[in-house]
Structure 1
Amino acid sequence: MPKNPDELFAFLDELGIQTRTVTHPPLFTVADSQSLRGEIPGGHTKNLFLKDKKDNFFLLTVEEDATVDLKSVHTLIGAASRVSFGKPEKLMEYLGLLPGSVSALGAINDTGHKVKIVLDEHLMRHEIINAHPLTNEATTTIGCDDLVRFLRATGHEPEILPVATVAEPR
């Protein structure tokens, strides 16, 4: 049974990681979440749950407005082939998440370590990062270093790689 947000927050507390969480109506897309800008500072995330032809799974966490080239990202993340989106059933099985609620915080549910976590290097330049806490009805703000510490505590060694292109502000 996947952990719920209260269990996630208890785990973060055990690690001494301070977070701030804002509840809101369900957000299903980056466009939905952009309506919260101004209320929640920091880097906002977009997450891609991917798989290769050998059923290796990857979670790429990038900035919300970043672009990931799915035709070439496999060469950066160590995939056995080009990648495609993972099925919702595997997302639930491995990360305990529904589409629309995907975030690196789902690593708490990947006790079998089936998913390789990749954090985009540009995103990691933010001091604080925002992610869904296992539900798309809230956004949790966590320190960049604390996110890495959390992932390590779940048994995941995140790779910080330049997997996305971020549009330069005009």
Structure 2
Amino acid sequence: MELYKGRPECISNRLDKEIRVYDLLDKLEIGYERTDHEPTDTMELCNEIDKVLEVVICKNLFLCNRQKTNFYLLMMPGDKKFKTKELSKQINSARLSFADEEDMLKYLDITPGSVSIMGLMNDKENAVQLLVDEDVLKDEYIGCHPCINTSSLKLKTADVFEKYLPAVGHEARIVHLLGED
């Protein structure tokens, strides 16, 4: 795997939703580094990507309440365990579960394995609430997918929260997750 600055030179073999991410980041003048890779379906591959990017890629979970009336995108450090009960208490939403693939496509235009904060650019109705574990904010950089799991990006945390989120009309709700047994 190689590390590149900015968008791919050849975009003919890229999905439209990935190109839209690069277009928006470029428009917002947000610098980023990128690596291309096989689909990330194992932690070993994620660890290799982390080494290339020199950042821990965030764990991004797409969640909903039992009634499917509230949807959440949770960003947390990749090495932290997710405890449903711990988050449910903080956001006053009992019975959180993973949202369906259909809802991922409907609200974020992403598929399982590609969940990313970049998908919020596709949520024009603000149906998805962004939840961010406070530990994510401690790092200078964030690692994420550009709405597809065959590339990964390294972005400045400040750029994501000060430029990207306001541009896509979303605010982060900060949560405190211990992730302990």
Q: TM-score w.r.t. structure 2 length?
A: 0.84
Describe the shift of the 1:124–1:29 C-alpha distance in structure 2 as closer, same or farther (beyond 3 A). Answer: farther
Q: Aligned equivalents of 2:40 and 2:176: distance in 1?
A: 26
Letter in 1 for 2:85: K
Give the alignment of 1:123-138 within 5 angstroms: 123-138=136-151
* Match of residue 154 from structure 1: 168
Identity, in percent, stands at 29
Describe the shift of the 1:155–1:31 C-alpha distance in structure 2 as closer, same or farther (beyond 3 A). Answer: same
Return the offset for 1:57.
0.3
- Measured against aligned partners, the alpha-carbon deviations of 1:98-136 in whole angstroms (never above 9, x if no partner) come to 000001111011111110011111111110010000100
* Match of residue 15 from structure 1: 28
Q: What secondary structure sits across from 1:141 in the alignment?
A: strand
Describe the shift of the 1:52–1:105 C-alpha distance in structure 2 as closer, same or farther (beyond 3 A). Answer: same
Contact 2:34 2:53 in 1 (8 A): no
Larger mean Cα displacement after TM superposition, 8-17 or 94-103 = 8-17
Give the alignment of 1:18-167 within 5 angstroms: 18-55=31-68, 56-79=70-93, 81-148=94-161, 149-165=163-179
Structure 2 portions without partners, runs of 5+:
1-14
Structure label with greater radius of gyration? 2
**Aligned pair count?**
165
Q: What secondary structure sits across from 2:52 in the alignment?
A: coil
> What's the Cα RMSD here?
1.9
Letter in 1 for 2:50: R
Q: Which is helix-richer, 1 or 2?
A: 2
Larger mean Cα displacement after TM superposition, 48-57 or 29-38 = 29-38
Structure 1 portions without partners, runs of 5+:
none
Q: Which is strand-richer, 1 or 2?
A: 1
